[in-house]
C-alpha cells in the first residue's frame, strides 16, 4: 500500500476501514427523549469547563433508533445529554452514549469525540407504551417509558426541525502512542438537512441504575419533566473545534 | 470539571473513561496461531509503505484474554503479516476483531490496533482447539488444531521469538474535518513475557470472504504451522516508527 493510499484512508483497519468519509445521512431516525431535573453540584462536575451547565439543572436521557444510516448500517443508541452554555450561547453537551454497532462507535469517538461505548440499547412499542431499555455488560442500567403519541408537539415539524439545528458538542480525547493526550478538544457540530416526519409529547417515567462503567445514574433523577418522541431524516456533517485544551489553555 | 482535570483524563467519556492508563498486564493469555502461505501480491497490497514483505507466510491468530488489566475478559482474532522495517523483522497487525469496547477503543486510540467488533471464540471442543470468528452475524474464520500433541522446548523458544518481535500497527485518527490528523506506524514490544506452556501440532484453517471482515483477502494457499501457547505478558505504550504527516 502506497503513501498516497494510506493518507486517503478514512479509518482503520487499512484492509477494511471501519467507516467511510462523511457526511452521514440518517433516514427514519426515531428519538425518545426524557427530560429530568438533577442535582446542580453533580451536574457541574459532569460538564467540562469552559462549558457551563444549564441553570435549571436539566438533563436529557435519550434513546435513538437508527435503522438506515449511511456508512454505519442499522443500530440503536442511548445516553445522556446535558444542555449547557458556551460563551453564553446554548449548546448541548453529550456526556455518555451507548450503542450496539462498532463503526459508529469508532467514527463517533475518533472524528467528533462522541463518548461512545458498546452496549445493548433498545426501543420498542410494547402495547400502549414506548419503552427504552439499556443493558451494559449484562445488566439493566436504564429504563424509560413514555405514553404513546398522546399529544402532537406544539409548532409541529417546523419547530422541532429548528430546535434540532441547535449546536451540539463533545469532549474529544485521543491519547498519543505514549499515553499522553494527543487530542483534547471540545468539538461542535450542527445537524443539517433535517426533515421531521412527526413529533409528540407525552408523560414519561425514567429509572437509572448505578453501574460503574455505564454511570447514567450518577446524575440522579430529582423529577421527570416529560417525554418527547419524534421521527425524522437528518445529516451529520463533520465537526469544528470549539476549544482546544492543549492550545487554548490559559495558565 | 476543571480544564486541568480534563487534561488528566485517560480517555472518553469524562464520567467513566473507557480505558485507564497503561501499561496493561495480561494473565493467562492464550493463543492459537495458524501459519499459512498466501498470495505474495496480496501481502504487498496489504502492507503499508515503508514496510517490506518477508516471504509469503502470514498467520491467523485467536486470543483468549480472560484477565487483562483495565480491559477485563474478552476474546480476539487477528491477522498478522511478518515483514521488515528498516531491515528488521517485525509483525504487522493488519486486522483485529474483539468483543469488548475497552480494549477496542484503547487499542485503536492509543496504539492504532486495527480493531473492529467481532465475536471471536477460542475453545477446547472435545479433542480439538477451535477458533471461530463471527462478524455481523456470519462466520468469517474457522481454525482447528490438535490439542497439546507436541510440547517442545524448541516451541517455547519459538514462542519467545514470536512474542519478542516488534508488532507494528498503522494508526489513523481523523481530525474533526474527517481528514487524517494522526497517520503513523507504531511499534509495540511486549514486556515481562512468561510462557506458561507452548505446543505445536497439525492445524487447518478456513476463511470466508466478507466485505467488512476481509481476512479472506489473504487467501489460504496451504497451512504451514499450528501453535498453541499460554502466557502472562505486559502490553506497554508504543513507540513511533514512522509519521506519514511529518
A contact residues 78-107, partner B, Cβ 8 Å cutoff = 95-97, 101-103, 105-106
pLDDT digits (tens, 9 = 90+) for A99-115: 999 999 999 999 999 99
pLDDT at B160 over 80: no
pLDDT band at A41 (very low <50, low <70, confident <90, very high): very high
Residues in chain A within 8 Å Cβ distance of B3: 48-50, 245, 249
A75 shares contact with chain B (CB less than 8 Å): no
User: Between residues B151 and B166, which one has the greater pLDDT?
Assistant: B166
* pLDDT confidence of residue B64: 98
A210 shares contact with chain B (CB less than 8 Å): no
Active site residue A149: no
Q: What is the average pLDDT score of chain B?
A: 95
Mean pLDDT of B37-59: 97
Q: Taking CB atoms and an 8 Å limit, are B101 and A118 in contact across chains?
A: yes
pLDDT band at B157 (very low <50, low <70, confident <90, very high): low
pLDDT band at B153 (very low <50, low <70, confident <90, very high): low
Cα separation, B137 vs A109, in Å, equals 24
- CATH number, domain of B122, equals 2.40.400.10
Q: Which domain holds residue B181?
A: 17-243
Domain boundaries, chain A: 18-244
* pLDDT confidence of residue A150: 93
* Structural domain includes residue B236: yes
Mean pLDDT of A131-140: 97
Q: Taking CB atoms and an 8 Å limit, are B3 and A48 in contact across chains?
A: yes
Q: Is the dihedral of CA B134, B135, B138, B139 positive or negative?
A: negative
Mean pLDDT of B72-89: 97
A contact residues 36-55, partner B, Cβ 8 Å cutoff = 45-50
Q: What is the average pLDDT score of chain A?
A: 96
pLDDT band at B40 (very low <50, low <70, confident <90, very high): very high
B contact residues 126-145, partner A, Cβ 8 Å cutoff = none
Cα separation, B106 vs B115, in Å, equals 10
Indicate the range of A39-48, B112-121, B127-136, B156-165 predicted with least confidence.
B156-165
B contact residues 192-211, partner A, Cβ 8 Å cutoff = 211
Classify domain A18-244 at the CATH class level.
mainly beta
A251 shares contact with chain B (CB less than 8 Å): no
Q: What is the ipTM of this complex?
A: 0.90
Which residue, among B101, B113, B240, would best test binding to A if mutated, counting the most A CBs under 10 Å from its CB?
B101
pLDDT band at A251 (very low <50, low <70, confident <90, very high): very low
Residues in chain B within 8 Å Cβ distance of A96: 13, 15-16
Which chain A residue has its CA at the smallest distance from B52's CA? A1
Mean pLDDT of B197-207: 95
Mean pLDDT of B36-63: 97
A112 shares contact with chain B (CB less than 8 Å): yes
* Total domains in the fold of chain B: 1
Compute and round to an integer the Cα radius of gyration of chain B.
Answer: 18
pLDDT at B135 over 80: yes
pLDDT digits (tens, 9 = 90+) for A190-241: 999 999 999 999 999 999 999 999 999 999 999 999 999 999 999 999 999 9
Q: How do beta strands B222-235 and B24-37 pair?
A: antiparallel
* pLDDT confidence of residue B150: 83
Mean pLDDT of A79-90: 97
Instruction: Name which of B107, B65, B57 is nearest B81 in CA terms.
Output: B57
**What one-character-per-residue DSSP string does chain A give?**
--HHHHHT--SS-TTS-SS-SS-EEEEEEEEEEEEEE--HHHHHHHS-TT-EE-TT-EEEEEEEEEEEETTTEEEEEEEEEEEEEETTEEEEEEEEEEES-HHHHHHIIIII---EEE-EEEEEEETTEEEEEEEETTEEEEEEEEESS-EEPTTHHHHHHHHTTS-EEEEEEEE-TTSSEEEEEEEEE--EEEEEEEEEEE-EEEEE---TTS-GGGS--SEEEEEEEEEEEEEE---EEEEETTTS---
Percentage of the residues of chain A whose pLDDT score is greater than 90: 98
pTM recorded for the entire structure: 0.93
pLDDT band at B158 (very low <50, low <70, confident <90, very high): low
Given a contact cutoff of 8 angstroms between Cβ atoms, the answer to whether B48 and B242 are in contact is no
Cα separation, B185 vs B169, in Å, equals 6
Which chain B residue has its CA at the smallest distance from A250's CA? B3
Which residue, among A6, A12, A38, would best test binding to B if mutated, counting the most B CBs under 10 Å from its CB?
A12
Q: Taking CB atoms and an 8 Å limit, are A15 and B173 in contact across chains?
A: no
Mean pLDDT of B1-30: 96
Amino acid at each position: 500500500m502506497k503513501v498516497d493510499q494510506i493518507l486517503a484512508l478514512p479509518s482503520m483497519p487499512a484492509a477494511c476501514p471501519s467507516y467511510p468519509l462523511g457526511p452521514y445521512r440518517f433516514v427514519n431516525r426515531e428519538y425518545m427523549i426524557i427530560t429530568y431535573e438533577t442535582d446542580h453540584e453533580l451536574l457541574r462536575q459532569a460538564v467540562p469547563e469552559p462549558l457551563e451547565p444549564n441553570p435549571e439543572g436539566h438533563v436529557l436521557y435519550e434513546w435513538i433508533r437508527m435503522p438506515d444510516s449511511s456508512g454505519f448500517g442499522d443500530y440503536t443508541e442511548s445516553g445522556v445529554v446535558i444542555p449547557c452554555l458556551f460563551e453564553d450561547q446554548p449548546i448541548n453537551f453529550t456526556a455518555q452514549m451507548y450503542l450496539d454497532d462498532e463503526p459508529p462507535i469508532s467514527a463517533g469517538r475518533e472524528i467528533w469525540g462522541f463518548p461512545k461505548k458498546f452496549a445493548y440499547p433498545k426501543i420498542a412499542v410494547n402495547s400502549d407504551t414506548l419503552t427504552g431499555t439499556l443493558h451494559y455488560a449484562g445488566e439493566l442500567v436504564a429504563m424509560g417509558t413514555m405514553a404513546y403519541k398522546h399529544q402532537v408537539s406544539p409548532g409541529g415539524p417546523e419547530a422541532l426541525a429548528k430546535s434540532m439545528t441547535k449546536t451540539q458538542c463533545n469532549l474529544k480525547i485521543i491519547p498519543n502512542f505514549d499515553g499522553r493526550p494527543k487530542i483534547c478538544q471540545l468539538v461542535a457540530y450542527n445537524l443539517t438537512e433535517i426533515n421531521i416526519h412527526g413529533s409528540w409529547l407525552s408523560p414519561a417515567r425514567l429509572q437509572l441504575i448505578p453501574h460503574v462503567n455505564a454511570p447514567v445514574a450518577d446524575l440522579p433523577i430529582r423529577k421527570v419533566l416529560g417525554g418527547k418522541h419524534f421521527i425524522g431524516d437528518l445529516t451529520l456533517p463533520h465537526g469544528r473545534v470549539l476549544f482546544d485544551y492543549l492550545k487554548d489553555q490559559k495558565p | 470539571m476543571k480544564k486541568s482535570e480534563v487534561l488528566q483524563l485517560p480517555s472518553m467519556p469524562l464520567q467513566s473513561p473507557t480505558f485507564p492508563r497503561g501499561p496493561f498486564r495480561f494473565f493467562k493469555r492464550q493463543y492459537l496461531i495458524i501459519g499459512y502461505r498466501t498470495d505474495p501480491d496480496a501481502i504487498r497490497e496489504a502492507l503499508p509503505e515503508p514496510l517490506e514483505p518477508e516471504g509469503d507466510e502470514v498467520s491467523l491468530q485467536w486470543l483468549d484474554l480472560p484477565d487483562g488489566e483495565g480491559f477485563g475478559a474478552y476474546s480476539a482474532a487477528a491477522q498478522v503479516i511478518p515483514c521488515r522495517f528498516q531491515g528488521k523483522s517485525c509483525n504487522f497487525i493488519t486486522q483485529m476483531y474483539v468483543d469488548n469496547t475497552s480494549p477496542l477503543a484503547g487499542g485503536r486510540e492509543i496504539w492504532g490496533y486495527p480493531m473492529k467488533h467481532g465475536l471471536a471464540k477460542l475453545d477446547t471442543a472435545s479433542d480439538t482447539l477451535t477458533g471461530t470468528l463471527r462478524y455481523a452475524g456470519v462466520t468469517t474464520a474457522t481454525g482447528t488444531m490438535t490439542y497439546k500433541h507436541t510440547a517442545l522446548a524448541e516451541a517455547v523458544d519459538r514462542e519467545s521469538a514470536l512474542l519478542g518481535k516488534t508488532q507494528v500497527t498503522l494508526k489513523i485518527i481523523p481530525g474533526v474535518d474527517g481528514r487524517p490528523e494522526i497517520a503513523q506506524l507504531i511499534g509495540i514490544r511486549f514486556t515481562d513475557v512468561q510462557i506458561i506452556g507452548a505446543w505445536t501440532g497439525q492445524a487447518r484453517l478456513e476463511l470466508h470472504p466478507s466485505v467488512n471482515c476481509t481476512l479472506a483477502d489473504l487467501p489460504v494457499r496451504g497451512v504451514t504451522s499450528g501453535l498453541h501457547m499460554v502466557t502472562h505478558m505486559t502490553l506497554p505504550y508504543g513507540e513511533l516508527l514512522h509519521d506519514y504527516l511529518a
